[in-house]
Structure 1
Amino acid sequence: MPYEPPPELAGMTLAQIADLVAQRKLPPVEGWAPQQDGDSGMRIAADGTWYHDGSPVTRGAMVRAVSGLLTCDADGQHWLVTPFERLTIEVEDACFIATDVTERDGALAFRLNTDDLVLAGPEHPIRVAGTPEEPACYVMVRRGCEARLNRSTWAQLVEIAIAQGGSEADGWAVTSQGENFPLTPP
């Protein structure tokens, strides 16, 4: 069955977005106990490009499938987890890139470069790093893995902050699912 990407965020209601989030069936990696560790030979570049043994992975379906196996441990090491082995993967910045954001009914919905949808909130916080001159904004996706907002998504988020009544005094904060997230680095 061919993969059908979700429709554009701008044309969806919060209920539709939440339904698509719930439909994404992820492998149950939390329940797996692999007995062997190794190296995957894979790298995710800062721009979101995936590489295997130095060559770009050009099949979007492959990236989407493998991205469901990603985890990040407390030491910041990223892993591809299967039932039989756990393989390191080099991640230059973040596992995912947030490519779009929209606000619907008090929630911020992000689309990722893998077509995953994430609703920011208590389980998926927004984090800002970097400097005031060069901020880097991230949203938690799953299992310790984050998505970095690309430049246009960052600009969309700032517009949302302004529309929500944000100001420089409050760190240009945004609210999603009742959680407040400043958009300026600490």
Structure 2
Amino acid sequence: MPADDMMQSLLKAAESAGDGLPPVEKWNPEHCGTMDLVIRRDGSWWHEGRRITRDRLVKLFARILRKDDDGVHYLVTPVEKQAVTVETAPFVAVRVDRAAENGEPVLVFTTNVGDVVAAGPDHPIRVETDPETGEPEPFILIRGRLEALINRPAFYELVENADIREERGRKTLFVRSKGVDFKLGEAE
């Protein structure tokens, strides 16, 4: 597949992100308890202390996951709602591709569970900085209130292609996607 065709395919996948997902935001069952399920920082899913190794099962659970106003992540069906533990973010953005749409740059992210989203107004990038270590922790909004932690290689690629601008007397890194500028942090 030629590179331009591949980029158009990625953009199309990002535009249709969320198509075919169950309407978990509309389901309002009673809270039924807490499930012994942990989504670790590295994107692995663990049930009762054992890693879930079946990708199809993880992807199924990812489809019925939501984060409510209370900040808790839940697996939700029309009749049941189980709280789960998320260490950092439920997903990991494992890849970023650069494309263009109407002359504007577009950053297309792919997650460990196969979600594809284009950073922009509906899918903002945010970076938190650890106050003690100064280490950046970058995220992108995937759907609802669910974010993906941007993995180190993808973040380094963003930094490598970032623009440096002056902001309040400091050199700052920015990336642009779908007409929105996202601040990555200070340049050293």
User: TM-score by structure 1 length?
Assistant: 0.85
Question: Could you tell me how far apart the structure 2 residues matched to 1:133 and 1:39 are?
Answer: 34
SS of residue in 2 equivalent to 1:171: strand
Instruction: Check whether the contact 1:172–1:182 (CA below 8 A) recurs between aligned residues.
Output: yes
Is the radius of gyration larger for structure 1 or structure 2? Answer: 2
More displaced, 151-160 or 131-140? 131-140
CA-based RMSD of the aligned residues comes to 2.2
Deviation at 1:130? Answer: 1.8
Question: Could you tell me how far apart the structure 1 residues matched to 2:176 and 2:90 are?
Answer: 24
| Alignment partner, residue 74 of structure 2 | 79
Instruction: Check whether the contact 1:36–1:84 (CA below 8 A) recurs between aligned residues.
Output: no
Deviation at 1:11? Answer: 7.0
Residue 111 of structure 1 aligns with an amino acid whose one-letter code is T
Instruction: Check whether the contact 1:42–1:51 (CA below 8 A) recurs between aligned residues.
Output: yes
| 1:151-170 equivalent positions in 2, closer than 5 A | 151-161=152-162, 165-167=163-165, 169=170
Provide structure 1 residue ranges, at least 5 long, that are not aligned to the other structure: 1-6
**Structure with the larger strand share:** 2
Instruction: Check whether the contact 1:38–1:88 (CA below 8 A) recurs between aligned residues.
Output: yes
SS of residue in 2 equivalent to 1:58: coil
| Alignment partner, residue 61 of structure 2 | 66
| 1:119-134 equivalent positions in 2, closer than 5 A | 119-131=118-130, 133-134=134-135
| Alignment partner, residue 17 of structure 1 | 10
Question: Could you tell me how far apart the structure 1 residues matched to 2:43 and 2:178 are?
Answer: 27
Deviation at 1:75? Answer: 2.8
Residue 164 of structure 2 aligns with an amino acid whose one-letter code is G
User: TM-score by structure 2 length?
Assistant: 0.84
| Alignment partner, residue 118 of structure 1 | 117
Aligned residues: 174
Question: Could you tell me how far apart the structure 2 residues matched to 1:69 and 1:27 are?
Answer: 7
Residue 126 of structure 2 aligns with an amino acid whose one-letter code is R
Deviation at 1:10? Answer: 9.1
Question: Could you tell me how far apart the structure 1 residues matched to 2:88 and 2:149 are?
Answer: 8
| Alignment partner, residue 149 of structure 1 | 150
